[in-house]
Structure 1
Amino acid sequence: MKKRIGIIGNERSTYDEKDQHTYYFSYTPRDFIQGFLRANSLPVILPVGIVEDAVAYIEQIDVLVLAGGQDIDPKYFHQARHPLLGEVFEARDEFELALIKEAVKQGKSIVGVCRGMQVLNVAFGGTLYQDTSLTDYTLKHVQSPISLEHPTHDVTIKETSLLRQFLPETYKVNSYHHQFVDQVANHFTVTAHTTDGAIEAIESTYYGNTIIGVQWHPEQSCHTHPLDQEFFKYIVENL
């Protein structure tokens, strides 16, 4: 049976001028779906739902994947909102935190990408920098207008990390984020960082399951860079 990969969804709306109606959508980036399909798994989109249903959702999947998206409400790491905080989606924050808690209870592995890594850090007691301006980092971490298909800066990956099972010590990644992991959650290890010191990956096996977070976007480049597709293969075959 194919492994079931539960990918947390997001929401957006669009207004149709013709019929003057607003339509609402639950979605996840297609590149996540394609990456997991190529890895011979069964990707499942988990729409933002009610916290009480987290148990049932996690029971239906083998691995939980937290994708990118909005900023995380800083109330979850005991900070006031900074003026440069971006859009937040509190219902998604609450639902993802419930899914993470339940995945740990059920012993299911968790993978976080970009925002997903940041949510993981917050869920286990870590904090975030709410904006690049609050750091001393010098690299261009929002690489626009360069497409995310094209990696733009190097990360150094720790030799003993899970990531090193399929990635080299120095690897070039793409980058699109203005928030960063600050204080790392207890029982997590920093397993990749940039030349300017930004944390690019965290891992933990302390809670009885495997938890991996990466700050870059392998889903955006996995169709053009084989080692980024290995990210999806590793999740399916090893977690």
Structure 2
Amino acid sequence: MKKPLIGISGSTTHLENGLFAGYNRCVLDQTYIDAVICADGIPYILPFNTDDEIIEEMVKNVDAIILSGGNDIFPLLYGEEPKEKLGEIFPDRDKFETILINTAVKLKKPILGICRGHQLINVTFGGTLHQDLSYGENVTIKHFQKAKWNVFTHSISIDKNSFLNDIFEVSGIGFVNSFHHQIINKIAPGFKVIAKSSDNVIEAIENLDSENLILGIQWHPEMMAATDKYAHKIFKKFIDYIKDNKKYK
């Protein structure tokens, strides 16, 4: 069977030093690529750009998309002015990935959003964010950890009627890493919360449309996938879903 082609959104960085100082470079953490390969998919980097037509064509050529982590999301997109604790934003990347999302939805291609990608899915469909953990209610867990990236640091409770239900060994309970300072406030219409931390921070969302999966995950399973079987299973189940819902030649 042909392996599905998984488009992963890239970003850009400005090189300050070295041989190519002064140039912008397309960037994506290697862990996304490795996680897709190990789950029997073919990774395909979707390079950041601002050409609407090119972005749409990129989506047409892949079987699904993964939205990678990165900068904070421009708060005007969800009707708020920037607050004191807002981090660095990248509005052009917001536009780039919003087009990726809308095109994938139009073409009924599955979407997996990770960290920032999870948050952008919510914003794109009409939800809102807390610009910092401190603006949320009763947030007591340290969600921006200093632990190693591949180590789980807190538990989550999982909806038993969700995509994530059979990922972890004990039904309804999972353990995740945590490196974020923004969180979902109001969930977008047409989505449901499928995982929460013990202080009620939304850790995962899923769309209610059974025809095409849109999944948002607040933690970073790609950074754990090489050493944690449960993180690996998220990518494996996502790619198996694509295989089951597409006829390959």
Report the TM-score, using the length of structure 2 for normalisation. 0.92
1:95 is matched with: 96
Runs of 4+ in structure 1 deviating by more than 3 angstroms, as ranges, are none
1:21 is matched with: 21
1:219 is matched with: 222
Q: After TM superposition, give the deviation of residue 156 of structure 1 in Å.
A: 0.3
Corresponding residue SS for 1:162: coil
Q: Contact 1:82–1:130 at 8 Å: present in 2 too?
A: yes
Corresponding residue SS for 1:22: coil
1:181 is matched with: 184
Corresponding residue SS for 2:187: coil
Residue 35 of structure 1 aligns with an amino acid whose one-letter code is A
Q: After TM superposition, give the deviation of residue 224 of structure 1 in Å.
A: 1.0
Q: Contact 2:192–2:208 at 8 Å: present in 1 too?
A: no
Residue 226 of structure 1 aligns with an amino acid whose one-letter code is K
Residue 37 of structure 1 aligns with an amino acid whose one-letter code is I
1:45 is matched with: 45
CA distance in 2, matches of 1:109, 1:232: 12
Q: Contact 1:219–1:228 at 8 Å: present in 2 too?
A: yes
Map of 1:73-222 to 2, 5 A cutoff?
73-135=74-136, 136-144=138-146, 146-167=147-168, 168-206=171-209, 208-222=211-225
Residue 173 of structure 1 aligns with an amino acid whose one-letter code is V
CA distance in 2, matches of 1:86, 1:164: 33
Q: Contact 2:126–2:189 at 8 Å: present in 1 too?
A: yes
Question: Are 1:12 and 2:49 matched, yes or no?
Answer: no
RMSD (Å) for aligned C-alpha atoms: 1.3
CA distance in 1, matches of 2:220, 2:20: 35
Q: After TM superposition, give the deviation of residue 207 of structure 1 in Å.
A: 7.5
Report the TM-score, using the length of structure 1 for normalisation. 0.95
CA distance in 2, matches of 1:237, 1:157: 20
Identity %: 36
Question: Are 1:235 and 2:243 matched, yes or no?
Answer: no
CA distance in 1, matches of 2:189, 2:21: 47
Q: Between Structure 1 and Structure 2, how many residues are aligned?
A: 237
CA distance in 2, matches of 1:149, 1:102: 32
Q: What are the ranges of 5 or more consecutive residues in structure 1 without an aligned counterpart?
A: none
Q: What are the ranges of 5 or more consecutive residues in structure 2 without an aligned counterpart?
A: 243-249
Q: Contact 1:27–1:45 at 8 Å: present in 2 too?
A: no
Q: Contact 2:59–2:104 at 8 Å: present in 1 too?
A: yes
CA distance in 1, matches of 2:101, 2:11: 16
